[in-house]
Structure 1
Amino acid sequence: MAAKVHPNLAVPSLQPRMGMGVRAVAAGGGGGGGGEEVVLTVWRKSLLFNCRGFTVFDASGDLVYRVDSYAADSRAEVVLMDAAGVPVLTVRRKKAISHLGLGGDQWLVYPGEETRLPPLYAVKRTTQYVRGGGNGKTMAHVAPCGVRGGAGGGYEVEGSYLRRHCTVYDQQRRAVVAEVQPKEAVGTDVFRLVVRPGMEVSVAMAVVVALDQMFGKPSLLRSWSS
């Protein structure tokens, strides 16, 4: 199965947030870059020893994104890096203030590692969604923050992350901008992420990281998200 997951990857000698021996591939800003869809293969596994995380490849089998999380790391955040180990986005969990009745937990998406700056997006599980379900109800909302909030640009996620069947709609629900799809004959730890015009590829991957924290069984990255 390894050859199918990373056909162009040599034996890695990677260090967290440093690219060594792996060709960096442009992650792409807008969905599909120039109006074309982007198809990624997502592997729920880190290439580093004693790490958990994600390794993401493009259609040519080249490394695009990675998440490397040490088991002893208890911070409530996950850093999405490009192939060279440069931080692209950080997904941080913000726990609900239960005694004030202010809703449930949410996952904030920050640029790079700049968690002191205002977040770009807030991802929140809907209260009516049953864990593990797949009945078409909205499972998560992705709301833009700050300046982005004034221009719209939110997303709705439907489906079942456990089954690797998720559909991401734009805020008006007029178009499908991303999909999580199962990959044949390789189990649920390897799946496709298809990103279409209307959503940034890195943001789509950050949403996948947040969904894994919300619905993963067990969540792969950190104990704080279970």
Structure 2
Amino acid sequence: MKVSSIDDSLFSCKGLVGSSTTTTTTHFTVMKTSLFFAGDGFTVYDCKGKLVFRVDSYGPDSRYRDELVLMDPHGRCLFTVRRKRPSLHQRWEGYLRERINGQKPIFGVRRSSIIGRSSFTVEMYGNPGEEYQIEGCFGQRLCTVLNVRKEPVATIRRKVDASTKVLLGKDVFSLSLNPGFDGAFAMALVLVLDRINGEGVDSSGNPDQTLD
């Protein structure tokens, strides 16, 4: 299954339906590259251990916190996600491929409420009827993405080592996609959740990012 190239023509007013869309239930392993290297990027592997997506980040500079690029294994840009400032709702926006000046975003992610703990809403620009909700706790790697009919389309879970049955650390987790959901888009949402989770640290240094 080819999961890492996107056909721009398939993004017009229909949400995301490209060649990275899954036709079967698909499971990815997501790893924070800060486990091994300086920086704060990601590598994503399929069930056969093949690299399908990657994100490179090279330090704590604010420009890397506010804009990230999702790439295929060969370094080709698939999505750019960028924090919108100023924003009370921790809003982020996503752009197809590499963002250029004047380019319009194709989706936005925002808190559903700024009072208390909340879920996140994913708006698909250009298609008002297309919307997703993200519920759960990304800090604990326990999230579900729901479509407008409240059907689960993707889940994030802690990963268990297949041989030892040991629960792995939070820097290694599973991203599972139901048939018909775009893998690159799902990973772009993971990037946004990771950045928002990093912003939401309370005074004791603990993440406070439960999504009710």
Q: TM-score, normalised by structure 1?
A: 0.71
Q: Is the 8 A contact 2:109 2:121 kept in 1?
A: yes
Aligned to 1:105: 90
After TM superposition, the structure 1 = structure 2 runs for residues 139-158 of structure 1, keeping only pairs within 5 Å, are 139-145=119-125, 147=126, 149-150=127-128, 152-158=129-135
Aligned to 2:71: 81
Separation in 2, partners of 1:89, 1:38: 20
Per-residue Cα deviation, 1:178-202 (whole angstroms, up to 9, x for no partner): 0001102211110000011342111
Separation in 2, partners of 1:46, 1:203: 22
Per-residue Cα deviation, 1:155-185 (whole angstroms, up to 9, x for no partner): 1011110111101100221x11000011022
Unmatched segments (≥5 aa) in structure 2: 6-17, 161-166, 202-212
Unmatched segments (≥5 aa) in structure 1: 1-24, 98-102, 132-137, 220-226
Separation in 1, partners of 2:53, 2:35: 11
Distance 1:163 1:49, change over 3 A: closer
* Aligned-residue offset at 1:204: 0.5
Q: Is the 8 A contact 1:31 1:195 kept in 2?
A: no
* Aligned-residue offset at 1:30: 5.9
Aligned to 1:205: 187
Q: How many equivalent residue pairs?
A: 180
Give the % identical residues: 37
Aligned to 2:109: 123
After TM superposition, the structure 1 = structure 2 runs for residues 1-226 of structure 1, keeping only pairs within 5 Å, are 26-27=3-4, 29=18, 33=22, 35-45=23-33, 49-71=37-59, 73-75=61-63, 76-96=66-86, 103-116=88-101, 117-127=103-113, 130=116, 139-145=119-125, 147=126, 149-150=127-128, 152-173=129-150, 175-184=151-160, 185-216=167-198
SS of 1:127 mapped into structure 2:
coil
